[in-house]
Chains A and B, each alone.
Chain A
Amino acid sequence: MSITTPIFLVFVAAVAGLYHVLPRRVQPAWLLAASYAFYISWAWEFALVLAGLTLANYMLGRFMNGRRSMLWTGVGFNLLVLAGLKYTGFFVARLPVSEGFAEFVLRFALPVGLSFLVLQAISYLVDVQRGQMEAEQDLLAFGLYLAYFPKLLSGPIERARSFLPQLRQPRLVDNAILIQAFTLILLGFFRKKVLADPLRTMIDPEVWQTPLAYGAPELFTWLLAFSFSLYNDFAGYTNIIRGVSLLFGIELTRNFQQPYFARNFTEFWNRWHISLSNWLRDYIYFPLARALRQRHAGAVLNFVLPPMVTMLASGLWHGASWNMLLWGGLHGLYQIGERLPTLWRPAIPPDQQPRARQALGMALTFILAALAWLPFQMPLEQAGQYLAGLFGGVPLIMNARILLLVVVALGLDWTQAHAKDELVFLHWRLPARAAALAFGLLALLFVLQSDTSVSFVYQGF
Chain B
Amino acid sequence: MGLPEIHIKTHSLDVRLPFGKALFFATGMVLLTAFLLEGLFRLPSIQARLMPQSYLLPDAYEIKLDFMAKLPARPDCFVLGSSVAHAGIHAAQLNESLAQSDRALTCFNFAAPGAIPAEQVAIAEFVLKEYQPRVLVLMVYFGDFKERPPESQDIAWTQSVWLRYKAGQVNAQGFLIEHSTLYRYILTYRKWATHDYEKLTTDTRLGMQLFGADGSKRDTRQFEKFGLAPDPVLDAAVFRFWKGYRVSADQLTALEAIIDQTAEHGVQLIVVEAPFHRSILNYVEDPEGDYQSFIDAVSLLLAERGISFLRMEDWSVLPDEVWADRNHLNKYGADLFTDWLTGPLFDALSQP
Contact = CB atoms under 8 A, between A and B. Distances in A.
Contacts, number: 94
A20 B13 contact: yes
Interface string B1-42: 000000000111111100111111111111001000000000
A356 interface: no
Contacts of B22: 430, 433-434, 437
Given A204-B196, A430-B21, A451-B191, A172 B26 contact: no
Contact of A175 (B16, B28, B186, B194): B16
B192 A401 contact: yes
Interface in B125-174: none
Interface residues of B, number: 31
Given A20-B10, A175-B19, A437-B26, A401 B33 contact: no
Contacts of A19: 12
A378 to B, nearest CB: 16
Contacts of B13: 20, 172-174
A385 B285 CA distance: 51
B195 A204 contact: yes
Contact of A450 (B26, B191, B196): B191
Given A249-B12, A433-B22, A203 B33 contact: no
A442 B33 contact: yes
A20 B193 contact: no
A197 interface: yes
Contacts of A62: none
Nearest to B16: A175
Given A178-B19, A437-B23, A450 B190 contact: yes
A438 B196 contact: no
Contacts of B33: 438, 442
Nearest to A197: B193
Contacts of A452: 193
A179 to B, nearest CB: 7
B310 interface: no
Interface string A232-266: 00000000000000000100000000000000000
Contacts of B195: 201-205
Contacts of A21: 10
Contacts of B15: 173-175, 178
Given A24-B11, A449-B187, A441 B197 contact: no
A172 B33 CA distance: 37
Closest 8 CB pairs of A and B: A434-B25, A198-B193, A438-B29, A437-B26, A438-B26, A20-B13, A204-B195, A433-B22
29 contacts: A19-B12, A23-B11, A27-B12, A170-B12, A178-B19, A179-B20, A201-B193, A202-B194, A202-B197, A203-B195, A204-B196, A401-B192, A401-B193, A401-B197, A430-B21, A430-B22, A434-B22, A434-B23, A434-B25, A438-B26, A438-B27, A441-B26, A442-B33, A449-B183, A449-B190, A450-B193, A451-B191, A451-B193, A451-B194
